[in-house]
Amino acid sequence: MRPQCLVLEKKEVLFLANVDKTVNPPAPNHIAIIMDGNGRWAKKRGLPRTAGHSAGAEAFRRIANYCRTLGVRYLTVYAFSTENWKRSEEEVGGIMRLLGAYLREAIRDMEKNHVRFRFFGDLTQLDPHLQKLCWEAQNQSSAYEHEVQVNFCLNYGGRDEILRAARKFAADVAAGKCSEADLSESVFSNYLDSAGVPDPELVIRPSGEQRTSNFLPWQSVYSEYVFMDVLWPDFKPADLDKAIEEYHRRNRRFGGA
Ligand code: FPP
């Protein structure tokens, strides 16, 4: 039996006993994470920044596995932004190599792990080998419809995503496939990289920084943001539990009274 079932069973028992319903509340359906603090983690140890990213990749593995045991349906992670190209060639190359290694491993273990992959961002600017791995991971995992889905934001910027979506919509209007009057929020959402993926309920940013950095601006308008002081490489399942507890303390009104 998966731990997810154990959690649900425990919760049901607690409900019957009329105990505080906030004990073991269910995890949100969609959690998004800005994996921040790798550089500072490395600096504190006198290590190169790439060592921080390697430790960050390990933290991702740990948290992705934990999300699966919690029954989280979608996990979206900010792995490389449209602004991250400003970093040194060595650092950019290091992050790309980690992503490539992870994707090769994910493709190899796909039949065992059943994780579904999607990629948000403009992949056309990536090295062709990495692009190929992204498409392979996405296509080969597309059948795992009911399993956890990891959305990697790669060469992703929220403003860039919106511009690319606007261009695609304008091209469809020019081709006579639809008209300007057809445009609504739900129609526009389908032009975004995240088409078909529900908005995240919870966005977590570790490392102590309190800004959104061009991450999912369209999708996160009503997300609950939880900022945490822990650096991403140190992020543990217990930190995710804390963020989920904080999420459940929020009063989500979506603009209503
Ligand atoms: C932000 O921390 C982190 C990034 C720009 C890169 C994130 C990449 C990874 C965690 C590795 C990707 C690989 C896999 C398999 C997920 P920062 O470098 O800006 O940290 P700082 O603010 O402390 O300098």
Amino acid in position 160: D
Distance 79 CA to ligand 1 centre (A): 6
Whether 36 is a known active-site residue: answer yes
Predicted confidence (pLDDT) at residue 139 exceeds the cutoff of 60: yes
Domain boundaries, the chain: 7-18+29-157+199-249
* Catalytic pick among 36, 193, 199, 239: 36
pTM across the whole model: 0.91
pLDDT digits (tens, 9 = 90+) for 27-52: 999 999 999 999 999 999 999 999 99
Residues with a CB atom less than 6 Å from ligand 1: 35-40, 53, 56-57, 60, 79, 84, 95, 98-99, 102, 207
Residue in 33, 34, 36, 153 to alter for ligand 1 test, most ligand atoms within 8 A of Cβ: 36
Residue-wise pLDDT tens digits, 94-128:
999 999 999 999 999 999 999 999 999 999 999 99
What's the rounded Cα separation, in Å, for the pair 148 and 198? 13
For the CA of 49, the closest atom of ligand 1 is 18
What is the dihedral sign for C-alpha 149, 135, 139, 171?
Answer: positive
Assess whether pLDDT exceeds 80 at residue 10.
Answer: no
pLDDT of 6 above 60? no
Mean pLDDT of the chain: 92
How is domain 7-18+29-157+199-249 classified at the CATH fold level? Answer: Undecaprenyl pyrophosphate synthetase (3.40.1180)
Instruction: Determine the average pLDDT of the residues in 232-243.
Output: 98
Residue nearest to ligand 1 atom 11, measured at CA:
57
240 C-beta neighbours (distance < 10 Å), count: 23
Q: How many A from CA of 179 to the centre of ligand 1?
A: 41
Distance of CA 50 from the midpoint of ligand 1 (Å): 9
- What type of residue sits at position 52? G
Q: For position 109, what pLDDT does the model report?
A: 96
Q: Catalytic one among 29, 65, 84, 113? A: 84
pLDDT of residue 60: 98
pLDDT single digits (tens) 147-196: 999 999 999 999 999 999 999 999 999 999 999 999 999 999 999 999 99
Decide if pLDDT at 257 tops 90.
no
- C-alpha 36 – ligand 1 centre gap (Å): 6
Per-residue pLDDT averaged across 15-28, rounded? Answer: 55
